[in-house]
Each structure stands twice: as structure tokens, then as C-alpha cells.
Structure 1
Amino acid sequence: MGVTFDRLAELWDKNTMMLLRWKPGEGRGETGLLWAAAEAMELDALTLKKQAMFEEQRLLLFKYDAGKDGEKKPGGTSVHSKWKSSVASPKGDLEKIVDVGFPAVLNVTLCLHAHAHTEMAKAKVRHDASEKGEEPPKDTTHPMPDDFVQIVGPAADAHEAYLAGCNWWTETLDSFYGHPDENLTDADPEHHASADDEEGADLA
């Protein structure tokens, strides 16, 4: 039970949702990317662990894990904050690799907003088609909400990459709760509220 709770709690910890999107042609494989990130943050590379990797979207989602006795905030700074600074001003191998225009940390609240926005847009398309007595189109691209575009940028490939991270998060959360996607916005309201408070001040 304790292990399960710890793994669930991780899904609301920014230190477990760091993002590295590499430039086209600059992939290094999982180990190479983690070593570049560790070098930039002056951390032991073994403390960084892959959460998920999306080759097509050029995205690595990773976490900081120093073990039970490890420091959570090296140098007095949270690891995800250190990573954001490293991405904003990359040095060493990271400078050659990282897409500096892509967010450095997955924003849980933004994922939930984007999910709800997309589901509402799909529902409207289905409703409009039903009103006309037509079949709804199978493949429809829906515009993303303004806050999503502001943080992720306007590029469609960046949207696809960020949503790949969001989908990983929602699917992982869903595996703990056993809820269908439509209930995700109601899951663990206490954690969600605290995440909202923190991320509202720091959406990027």
C-alpha cells in the first residue's frame, strides 16, 4: 500500500515530470539524454530515471530519484527548477541537444485543461452532426486552448509532443484509480487543488 501511495504521489511532483525535447537529428538515446541533463544540473546521472520516451515526438519524460536517503533539493533548489534554468540557458552537450522553446516540466493542470477542452470540442462536433442527421467526422483536429498555446507554442508538432506527455500522465493516473478518462478531472481533488495553487503561479 505504501509503495502504491508513493508512486501515486509522484504523479503530482514536478521533480518526476521533467521534459527534454531534443532537436531534430540530435537524439542520443535514453542514456545519452539523461547524462546530458545530469551534466547540466551537476547531478549524478544515476539519480535521473526515464518515465517515458516518445521517439516520434522527440521527447523524454524523466524524474529525479536520489533514493530514500538522497537530497530532494540539491543546493537548496528544487530539481525541476534547476532543470528549467538549465533548459533556458543550456550548456555543454545539452546546448547541442535541447529544444529551448519547449516546456521543461509537464504541467498537470494544463494537461487536464487541454483534455477537458478537447472532449468538449468533440462533444460539440458530435452534437452538431446529430442535429444535421449526419455522421460525425472520424478525424477532426480541434484548436487547443489559449493557455496551452501560450505555454507550449503554436507549432503542431510541439502540441503533439506535449500531449504525448499528458497522455502518459493521464493513463498512469488512470491505472491507479481504474477510472475512465472522463472522470480524471475529479480524481484526487485534494492533490489537484494543491497542484492548481502551485502551477497557477508558474504555468510554464
Structure 2
Amino acid sequence: MTSLPPRRADARRSRAAILTAAAQVLDTDPDAGLAAVARAAGVTRQTIYAHFASRDKLLAAVVDHLTEQAVAAMDAVEADSGPAGDALLRLLAAGRQSTDRYPALLRQIAAQPVGPDADQLRHAPVADRIERVIRRGQRTGEFDDRLPADWLATAVIALAHAAEHPSGTDEAVLSRTIRNTLTRAERG
């Protein structure tokens, strides 16, 4: 019976290797097949299929994996300290630094047709952290409190995505735009 835990550990290591390899391979070649992912992960195609029933399921798991990495990076920036505006920019920079490693893959993911519910679920862990900082900024008077924090979090995510677009903008312009959006919303 002692062989069961090591197999589970092996399965976890295989899954992690597959997800890491898939992110790297699909970023380099968005049309790569599972055989290329298997080679890069050092596993067989059958091992991939043991974890993921299809390429689409693998891609969905890669999205979750990248989201987990971005959230971990965001959690490391201590968003509950310092001015809310600075904390928000630290959160966004941490998330962006984490996801910037896979620009082609993220463009491919963004181009996938998903409904608004799926997109909202994909962004939920990120949105929760952004919304928490926005609420703090609203409580302290740093951010305008006349618009709902969840709406502002969605707007911040949309602005960050717009800046990631190839014709997007640089970090300084993004920072000013986000601060202006949060501090002057509806102040006509």
C-alpha cells in the first residue's frame, strides 16, 4: 500500500510538467500538437491523455495554471499596505510580469470564443484582488466611491488588457489612466 502516495506524487509532478511544457510550447507554436507538448514535458502522449481528455481540456488547464501563477505573484506584493493606488499598480505589474512570459499563448487564449460567464470566471481570482484594493481606496477616500468597486475592477482589467494589445500603451500611460479612472469617475 505504500506505493499509492508516490504514484500520486508522480502524477502531480507529471501534471505540473505537462502544464509548464504546454505553456512554453504553445507560446512558441500555437498550433503545436500534444506530441510536441509530451516531448517537452518528458512524458508520453498517453500520460497527457491520462490527465487531459483533449487538447482543449489541456488548454483550459493551462489557462488555470497561468491564472494561479499570476494570482500567486499578485499575492506576493502585499496589496494591503501603502496607498491603494500604489498597491493596485503593484498588483497589475505583478500579474503582468507573470503573464508576459507567454505573450503568444495569451493572445491565443484571448482570441478563443468564450461567453461572458466563462471570461468572468477566468478573471475572478484577479478581479477579487483588484476589487479588494479598490474598496480599500474607496474607504480611505483615495478612490471615487460613487461607482461600484466590482464595476471599477472590471474597468481596470479591461484597461490592462487594452494596454497588452500590440498597439497598446506603455506602463506610465496605463498607470495614469487607471488612477484617473478611479479618482475621477463620474466627477463631472
**The two structures share one fold, judged by TM-score above 0.5:** no
**Greater relative CO, 1 or 2 (CA 8 Å, sep 6+):** 1
**Greater percentage in strand:** 1
The normalised TM-score by structure 1 is 0.29
- TM-score normalised according to structure 2 size: 0.31
- Choose 1 or 2 for highest CA Rg: 2
Report which of the two has the higher share of helix. Answer: 2
